[in-house]
Amino acid sequence: MRIATIAPALLVGFIAIFSGCDGDENTNTLMQSTHSYSVKILNLTAGQPMSPLLVSSASLFNTGTKASPGLEYLAEGGDNSKLLDTDSVSGTKIIVPGAYDTVIIQSQNSKISLATMLVKTNDGFAGLDSYDVSKLALNESVVVYASVYDAGTELNDELSTSVPGLGGEGFNVARELSDIVTMHSGVVSNEDGLVTSGLSAMEKFNNPVAAVTIIRTK
């Protein structure tokens, strides 16, 4: 994980020299402003593997607005590399149903966001945006639940050629006309009337699809 530089060491040194004890206090406050959080996600679905988790201290999405290019890559193909920056960290594995993954993030911010693709969808992702962790004390934990959002960038045709978890295409630069992030309407499947769907009833899901445990570790 990459961590943003807080302030040049030389500048901190000058503050300490010219401010005496106050400079030490300022330096200590600066160092203590970064906290660490353990973020664990548990896949609650029956048949939807999830792509490697992305956790960030920055906002990742907003319903009613267009998905960023990075979110489109994640939601259509499970690729979170376009969203990785100094504010974020990635998991390392596919999270199968019933399994979990845990990442550690260090942040000066008091918000936690996350996203992971449901890989047997066209552009569905489980997400949590800007959850406030400012009141968490050291070693205190909270459990929150993530629902599924539709990135709005790809038609939910459920074709085997367009769903990554079925061996189909991932990211496609073309966007659908809707092109806004919404709550996902769910999988239809070939057993429920969409005869061209490559998905079965096993891939259907109900919200919430993931349990997220956040622990302040520093």
The answer to whether residues 96 and 26 belong to one domain is: no
The answer to whether residues 101 and 208 belong to one domain is: yes
Q: Residues in the chain with pLDDT < 50?
A: 1-32
The answer to whether residues 95 and 147 belong to one domain is: yes
Q: Could you tell me where the DSSP H helices lie in 33-89?
A: 69-77
Instruction: State the pTM of this model.
Output: 0.84
Cα–Cα distance, 99 to 113 (Å, whole number): 20
The answer to whether residues 110 and 183 belong to one domain is: yes
The answer to whether the Cα torsion of 131, 50, 206, 213 is positive or negative is negative
The answer to whether residues 14 and 61 belong to one domain is: no
The answer to whether residues 16 and 45 belong to one domain is: no
Q: What are the angstrom distances between the C-alpha of 162 and each of 52, 121, 197?
A: 19, 9, 10
Q: Which range of residues forms the domain containing residue 27?
A: 1-33
Helix (H) or strand (E) holding 182: strand 182-183
Cα–Cα distance, 150 to 112 (Å, whole number): 20
- What per-residue confidence (pLDDT) applies to 28? 40
Q: What are the angstrom distances between the C-alpha of 134 and each of 5, 75, 145, 209?
A: 21, 28, 18, 25
- What per-residue confidence (pLDDT) applies to 185? 96
Give yes or no for a contact between 85 and 141, defined as CB atoms under 8 angstroms apart.
Answer: no
The answer to whether residues 28 and 119 belong to one domain is: no
The answer to whether the Cα torsion of 182, 76, 71, 130 is positive or negative is positive
